Amino acid sequence: MDVVNQLQRQFLDYSASLHREGFLDDQFTQLQKLQDENSPDFVVEVASLFFEDCEKLINNMARALEQQGVDFKQVDASVHQLKGSSSSIGAMRVKNVCIAFRSFCEAQNREGCLRCLQQVTHEYSLLKNKLQTLFRLEQQILAAGGSVPAIE
């Protein structure tokens, strides 16, 4: 049981740090509350779909910004979609970059957009690693015969 307690404590501390550092907001906690024994992989599945979305949208933005005559409406459409996805999963830092990104699209500022693209790529990679760590901790708890503690 010591191992389980230790892992559970690690999980809770790690989860708290993700919220404290702004990677996740309360929306992610709401997703965790939706998960149940009938859908035990719900959060992992939603996160996978989010990562797929991010990669597709970031590629779209990069391609659009590479063009001679940048279509800022097209870039904005992808940023808008990413903002919607990120707020729906609780990816706060990604969402916040999208908000700034949209301002640069509106101003048709290519340099500003490119900086935001770099930032959003960075935030997405960071979040992906951190969520993968969180999910690994969950698996370790379950493999040790424990249950994943609920986040309040």
Partner 1 sequence: MMLGNCATSSSLSTESDEDIVNNNLTVLVVDDSPMIRKLHDMHLKKFGLKVQVAENGKNAVDLFRSGASFNLILMDKEMPIMDGAEVTKELRTMGVTSMIVGVTSLDSIFDRQAFMEAGLDHCFTKPLTTENIIFLLQELNKKNNEEN
Which letter does DSSP use for residue 85 in this model? H
CB 131 within 8 A of CB 90: no
34 vs 150, beta carbon nearer partner 1: 34
Written in H, E and C, the secondary structure of 33-45 is HHCECCECCHHHH
Which span (14-22, 86-94, 114-122, 128-136) binds partner 1, by CB under 8 A?
A: 86-94
Among the listed residues 12, 19, 32, 42, the single contact to partner 1 using CB under 8 A: 42
Among the listed residues 53, 72, 92, 146, the single contact to partner 1 using CB under 8 A: 53
Among the listed residues 41, 45, 55, 71, the single contact to partner 1 using CB under 8 A: 45
80 counts as binding partner 1 under rule CB under 8 A = yes
- Single out the residue of 54, 60, 61 nearest to residue 83, CA to CA: 54
121 counts as binding partner 1 under rule CB under 8 A = no
- Single out the residue of 40, 13, 4 nearest to residue 146, CA to CA: 4
5 counts as binding partner 1 under rule CB under 8 A = no
31 counts as binding partner 1 under rule CB under 8 A = yes
* Cβ burial, residue 106 (10 Å; 0-12/13-18/19+): exposed
88 vs 109, beta carbon nearer partner 1: 88
Most distant CA atoms of the chain, gap in Å: 62
150 counts as binding partner 1 under rule CB under 8 A = no
CB 95 within 8 A of CB 24: no
Binding residues for partner 1, per CB under 8 A? 27, 30-31, 34, 39, 42, 45-46, 49-50, 52-53, 77, 80-81, 83-85, 87-89, 102
